[in-house]
Structure 1
Amino acid sequence: MPVPVSRRAVLGGAAGLVCLTACENPAARDLSPGPEVAVLLGAIADEERLISLYEQVTTTYSGLSSAFTDALRDHREHLAVLRRHYVPGTGGATATPAVSATPFAPPSSAAEAVPTARAAEKAAAAARVTDMAGAPAGLAQLLASIGACEAGHATALGLR
């Protein structure tokens, strides 16, 4: 006498077979990070560098802290948003930041602080434009927004 087989049992068995096939062959899935991971890590490194620069300047030249308060706050927010987009473990040998994470050398005088920060903001804004080419649409929009903010900081610092 045939054993009645439910539709659920057939579908469950088929799903199990697919899982066994894919799970036994890890090469069936490409787990290497895409180019957007390197872009994201580079943007994170840039934000960390800018934050470090602003913290150094405001600590060393306390009279300038009001000139850098808004930019420092913005860069901390950028960093938080970028970090939310990074999934730990997706980095790797092919996903290293394109820029050095070496912190900026602190300006040797208060007079050099604003031009140094302005140059750093311009460089970061230019890097975000370059980064957008290698990013999926959603990340490109975020990078464009951050780059626009960095360009705005460079402009504002030029007015001081």
Structure 2
Amino acid sequence: MRHDALNRRTVLGGALAAAAALGLGGCRGADWYPSEISPDEYLLRSAIAEKQRLIARYAALLDNGRSTDPELHEAFRSHHERHLAVLRERLPEHGGGEPSPSASPEARPDPDERGLRVAEEAAAANRLRQLGEAADPALAQLFAGIGACEAGHAHSLPEA
């Protein structure tokens, strides 16, 4: 019996300590963010850049004729293009521009099938992280749906 009470005390004590740490940490939510771009917009821009890289990778694979399953790869590219369109619609209209796929060293597509599964798995993992960081529940839900699709892609592709 004493063992149960100790566990409850430990849990309650840990929760109180975490709440105190958050309170003393000075985090006041999104209103403290020192930029014109909100944390959610930053997440959106990151997802958009990643989508552009995935689309470029599929396009290079298809354009070079190195795809072993062109119908599947074209369908997956189409999914990413639809995701990209929805993500772009969510961007605020304050003229901040849009990320470019060439903004990153990983942007140059590797035109072979090796690594597509890994890229899809990484994208799904990023969506999971992003949905946990999103302040807007609708944005979190969008990231969850896109991540589920990416996880399905990864499952359907051969291992690298």
TM-score tier (shorter): 0.5 to 0.7
The TM-score, its normalising length taken from structure 2, stands at: 0.66
Partner of 1:118: 117
Residue 146 of structure 1 deviates from its aligned partner by: 0.3
Matched, 1:137 2:154: no
Change over 3 Å in CA distance of 1:33–1:90 after alignment to 2: farther
Partner of 1:150: 150
CA distance in 2, matches of 1:138, 1:83: 15
Matched, 1:35 2:39: yes
User: Identity across aligned pairs (percent)?
Assistant: 36
Are the equivalent residues in 1 in contact too, given 2:127–2:143 (CA < 8 A)? yes
Are the equivalent residues in 1 in contact too, given 2:57–2:110 (CA < 8 A)? yes
Residue 70 of structure 1 deviates from its aligned partner by: 1.1
Residue 34 of structure 1 deviates from its aligned partner by: 1.6
The superposition leaves residues 78-116 of structure 1 with CA deviations (integer Å, 9 ceiling, x where unpaired) of 000000000232649xxx89x937424324xxxxx3332
Structure 1: stretches of 5+ with no match in the other structure:
1-29, 108-112
Structure 2: stretches of 5+ with no match in the other structure:
1-33
CA distance in 2, matches of 1:68, 1:149: 14
- Off by >4 Å, runs of 4+ in structure 1: none
CA distance in 1, matches of 2:51, 2:118: 14
In the TM superposition, what are the counterparts of 1:1-80 in structure 2 within 5 Å?
32-61=36-65, 63-64=67-68, 65-80=70-85
RMSD: 2.9
Q: Which has the larger radius of gyration?
A: 1
Return the letter of the residue paired with 2:44.
L
Are the equivalent residues in 2 in contact too, given 1:49–1:101 (CA < 8 A)? no
CA distance in 2, matches of 1:32, 1:85: 16
